[in-house]
Amino acid sequence: MAAQPTVILYRYDISPFCWKADNILLLKGIPHKRVNVSLLLPRPEITDDLGLNYRRVPIMTIGNDIYCDTSLMIPVLERRFPNSKSIFPPRKGGGAPDTGLIRAFSKYFVDDAVLPAAVTLAPWEGADARVIEDRTRFLGGNVNLVQHMLAKRGKGVADLDAHLALVEEQVADGREWLFDTEGPSLADVAIHWVCEYFKDYDASLLDDKKFPCTLKWFERMSEHLETKRRGHQLWKGIDSETAGKEAAAGQFEPYDVRGFDERVAKWLGVERGQTVSIAPAGDGLPYNAKDYSTIGKLVSLNTEEICVEIEGKLGTFRCHFPRLGYTVKPL
C-alpha cells in the first residue's frame, strides 16, 4: 500500500475556521503537521514561499497540493483518506448519510449566516490597533471598523437568537447529533465551533431555558471532542521553511483525477492552460479583490473546484479553490 501523503495545516490559534479544520482532522484521526502563522498580514511563508496571494487561514497542503477554504478541504480529506473515519456517518437505523445536505448546512447556514452574526459580538471597541488597521484595509479603507461592527451588533444578536431557534427545533426530539447520525458529522462540527466562538463574548445566548436541547447537544459535542483530544496527539508543530520544502518535494494528485470540464470552462470564459486570477467573491464585502487574487496556470476545473499551478520561492505547487464562492478570470 502506498504511503499516505503528508498533511500540513497553516493556521493560527484564535481563528474559528482553524478550530473547524482542527476538529475535522481530529474526528477523522488523520496525523498531520501544523505551521502557526501570524494573525495579521504579511504572511511570507504563504505568499512568498508558496506563491499564494491569499489572506484567509487556514490553508492545507497534502503533498504538493495546496487547498484553500475549509469547504473544499473537507470533501478532499474524505476522498484522499478513505480509510479514515468519515465525518458523514450513516443515519441511525441504517439510513444513508445526507452528505450533500450536511455540506450545504455547513457552508450556507453556518459559514455564511451564523458566523457573520457571531462576529459582531467580538469586542471590537477594545481590539488591538493593528487588528483594526488590518481589517479596515481589508474592507477598503473607507470604513470606521469599530463603528461599523457596533452598529451591526444588535441585529447580529437577534439573528443569532433566530439561528439558535432553528438548531433547537432540530434537536428538540432528543437526538444525539444534529442529523441523527451514528456519530458527530460535519454539521455538528460546523455549528459547534461557532457556538464556541460567540459564547466567550455572550454565553447568555445559549440560554438553558430557551435552548435546553441545544445546550445539551453543545455540551455533548464539547465532551466528545475533549475525549478525542485526550487520546493521543495527532499533530506536531514544524517551522514554515521545513513545511514549504516538504510540500514542494511532495507528489501532486494527477490532474485527470479531478478532470477538466469544458462546459464549466466555457460558462466561465476560461481555457485549460490559460493564465487566470482567482479571488474570493460573493461575500458582500467592499474590498478590492485583486489585492488578494492568486495568479496561476489553469490545469483542472470541475463543478467542485478550480486548480492552478503557482510558482513560489520554494517551488511549483498545485493550488485548489472551491468553485462556489470564488471567481476565476482570464488574464
**DSSP result, 110-134:** IIIIIHHHHHTTS-GGG--HHHHHH
Cis peptide bond N-terminal to 58, omega within 30? yes
pTM: 0.94
Amino acid identity of residue 157, one-letter, is: V
Residue 324 burial by Cβ neighbours in a 10 Å radius (0-12, 13-18, 19+): middle
**pLDDT (0 to 100) of residue 57:** 95
Q: How many residues does the chain have?
A: 331
Distances (CA, A) of 188 to 29, 268, 292, 297, 322: 16, 34, 31, 37, 22
| Grid coordinates belonging to 194 | 461557532
Rg (CA), the chain: 20
**pLDDT (0 to 100) of residue 233:** 87
| Grid coordinates belonging to 125 | 471597541
> Whose CA is closest to 228, among 24, 70, 8?
24
In contact, 192 and 108? CB cutoff 8 Å: no
- CATH number listed for the domain at residues 99-231: 1.20.1050.10
**pLDDT (0 to 100) of residue 148:** 86
Distances (CA, A) of 2 to 5, 30, 60, 81, 312: 9, 16, 21, 12, 28
Rounded Cα distance, 206 and 287, in Å = 33
**pLDDT (0 to 100) of residue 140:** 64
| Grid coordinates belonging to 287 | 474590498
- pLDDT tens, residue by residue, 73-91: 999 999 999 999 999 999 9
Find the angle CA(81)-CA(87)-CA(92) to the nearest 5 degrees.
130
Mean pLDDT, each 10-residue run in order, the chain (331 residues): 85 93 97 96 96 95 98 97 96 91 96 94 90 76 81 96 98 97 97 92 91 98 96 92 98 95 98 96 54 92 98 98 95 94
Distances (CA, A) of 252 to 247, 255, 315, 322, 325: 9, 8, 13, 18, 24
